[in-house]
């Protein structure tokens, strides 16, 4: 009689393949979890697949330590496919306790067979059985003496990164930060008052049995735990747009921009350009520049849905001389960075990051500021921001720029009391941490130009370059 093919849940199949792609293809969860592979899944399976992918990547270091203890060998000596299946299984055993343990073990073993890894099924079964017989192994983490290694395992972050944070903030704050990164971020819905009201959006969300909470920072923002299909509907209708609250706070540093021309130098996918559109009003304009046309098309779609007429996408490479003839009132340099402030949303970043890259990133960020500087008019403002936690990309870049460009000086923004707490008056820098109100980690400095002016205005040639 022909053996029956084991049935594995669709969610676990998708999660396994996504995790394998993250490890082997340099893929990112933000793309994978929005891909066509998720569309055939039932809502419950989508939630499970998402929870497995994000949970395994958030807790990878801790899970690997557990696996090493039960397997009796280094994680590097275990086949990658077995690593992933064991991580998925131990994540469910440790963090999804409503799933029966015997079902978790059975699925992991059978999935090895369906993925043509029959030779790994016995090993996976043995490691998981040991885990069930000795569930207290994680209590031994506290016995590790070296603080950077202990916190690396406890908070599931790379050891080099924990060592940096411990040196700057101490062990308690570093661990809090790591643990905050391993939580599910809130979804912030910013309401488009051009088309709807807070009350109307609230009513639609509640009709889907969702319980949104008010933002403590913005009166037109609602917060939700997780995601739901209705959110995409609201976005497609242009009634809301999604953006982390800390990212929005960065844009508020510019204060009143009514009637001004603002250049968003690295704009795609356009979240800050949308916020700046509201800030400048109908009499102002935002030039949303990015080197990638496909990414600007995402902004174009969002712009049209939201009904924004004062945003002009412009395809151009900011590492080359800018196609801007004359001067503008404000330039935002939201620089490409390591992204280490966004680990709640992008947990794979911490495993891909390399401290050796910081110097190269800082050089690129400095070059972007250098390109922007000549195009800011006298008394105009230059806002530099990153979603990085590391000083090489933040203070180091700003300090170097000010040394090379004495015509710029730091500026104290006018902030609401709720946001004021994130601004350090001594360093004159804005900074949020992942544990601050469940927002991402951002850094920003506002600069003012006091040097020699140049011919004013943005020319018609620049306007023609806009899409």
Q: Which residue ranges does the chain devote to CATH 3.30.70.1170? A: 186-242
For residue 431, what pLDDT is reported?
96
Q: Under CATH, what is the fold of the domain 245-465?
A: Rossmann fold (3.40.50)
Closest CA to 314 of 422, 421, 466: 466
Residue 18 in contact with residue 34, Cβ under 8 Å?
Answer: no
Regions of the chain with pLDDT less than 70:
1-7, 437, 452-467
Question: For residue 99, which phi and psi values (nearest 5 degrees)?
Answer: -85, 125
CB atoms within 10 A of CB 204: 17
Positions of CATH 3.40.50.150 in the chain: 245-465
Kind plus residue range of the DSSP H or E element containing 404:
helix 395-404
Residue 254 has φ and ψ, to the nearest 5°, of: -75, -15
**E strand intervals along 158-230:** 186-191, 213-214, 221-225
pLDDT per residue as tens digits for the range 168-201: 999 999 999 999 999 999 999 999 999 999 999 9
Neighbouring-strand partners of residue 330? 262, 381
List pLDDT tens digits, range 339-397: 999 999 999 999 999 999 999 999 999 999 999 999 999 999 999 999 999 999 999 99
**CA–CA distance, 85 with 404 (Å, rounded to integer):** 52
pLDDT computed for residue 409 by the predictor? 97
pLDDT of residue 257: 95
Supply the pLDDT for residue 35: 85
The reply to whether CATH 3.30.413.10 applies to domain 186-242 is: no
Residue 459: per-residue pLDDT: 45
Q: CA angle, 144 as apex, 141 and 149 as ends, to 5°?
A: 90
Which pLDDT belongs to residue 350? Answer: 97
- Residues spanned by CATH 1.10.940.10 within the chain? 10-143
Predicted local confidence at residue 189, as pLDDT: 97
- How far lies 277's CA from each of 258, 287, 288, in Å? 10, 10, 10
* pLDDT, position 7: 67
Per-residue pLDDT at 269:
86
* First-last CA distance in the chain: 65
Q: Are 434 and 343 in contact (CB under 8 A)?
A: yes
Task: Provide the CATH number for the domain formed by 10-143 in this structure.
Answer: 1.10.940.10
Q: Which residue has the tokens 């801007």?
A: 324
Burial zone of 40 (CB within 10 Å; 0-12 exposed, 13-18 middle, 19+ buried)? exposed
């Amino acid at each position: 009689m022909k053996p029956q093919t084991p049935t594995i849940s669709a969610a676990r199949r998708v999660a396994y393949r996504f995790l394998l792609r993250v490890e082997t293809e340099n893929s990112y969860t933000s793309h994978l979890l929005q891909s066509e592979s998720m569309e055939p899944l039932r809502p419950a399976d989508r939630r499970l697949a998402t929870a497995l992918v994000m949970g395994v990547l958030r807790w990878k270091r801790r899970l690997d330590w557990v696996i090493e203890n039960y397997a009796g060998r280094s994680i590097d000596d275990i086949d990658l496919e077995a690593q992933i299946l064991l991580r998925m299984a131990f994540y469910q055993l440790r963090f999804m306790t409503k799933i029966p343990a015997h079902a978790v073990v059975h699925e992991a073993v059978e999935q090895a067979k369906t993925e043509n890894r029959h030779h790994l099924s016995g090993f996976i079964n043995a490691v998981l059985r040991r885990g069930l017989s000795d569930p207290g192994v994680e209590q031994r983490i506290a016995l590790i003496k070296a603080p950077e290694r202990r916190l690396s395992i406890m908070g599931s972050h790379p050891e080099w990164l924990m060592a940096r944070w411990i040196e700057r903030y101490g062990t308690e704050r570093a661990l809090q930060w790591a643990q905050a990164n391993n939580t599910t971020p809130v979804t912030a819905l910013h309401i488009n008052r051009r088309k709807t009201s807070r009350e109307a959006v609230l009513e639609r969300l509640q009709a889907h049995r969702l319980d949104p909470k008010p933002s403590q920072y913005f009166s037109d923002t609602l917060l939700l735990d997780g995601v739901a299909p209705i959110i995409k509907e609201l976005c497609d209708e242009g009634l809301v747009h999604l953006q982390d609250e800390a990212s929005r706070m960065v844009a508020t540093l510019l204060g009143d921009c009514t009637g001004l021309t603002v250049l968003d130098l690295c704009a795609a996918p356009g979240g800050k350009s949308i916020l700046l559109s509201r800030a400048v009003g109908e009499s102002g304009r935002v030039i949303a520049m990015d080197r990638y046309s496909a990414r600007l098309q995402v902004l174009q779609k969002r712009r049209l849905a939201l009904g924004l007429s004062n945003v002009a996408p412009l395809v151009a490479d900011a590492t080359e001389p800018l196609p801007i003839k004359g001067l503008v009132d404000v330039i935002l340099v939201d620089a490409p960075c390591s992204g280490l402030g966004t680990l709640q949303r992008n947990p794979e970043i911490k495993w891909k990051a390399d401290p050796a890259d910081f110097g190269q990133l800082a050089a690129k960020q400095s070059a972007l500021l250098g390109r922007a500087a000549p195009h800011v008019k006298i008394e105009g403002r230059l806002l530099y921001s990153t979603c990085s936690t590391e000083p090489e990309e933040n203070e180091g870049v700003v300090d170097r720029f000010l040394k090379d460009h004495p015509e710029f000086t730091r500026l104290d923004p006018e902030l609401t009391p709720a946001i004021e707490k994130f601004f350090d008056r001594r360093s004159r820098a804005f900074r949020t941490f992942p544990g601050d109100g469940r927002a991402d980690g951002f850094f920003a400095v506002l600069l003012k130009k006091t040097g020699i002016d140049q011919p004013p205005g943005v020319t018609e040639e620049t306007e023609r370059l806009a899409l």
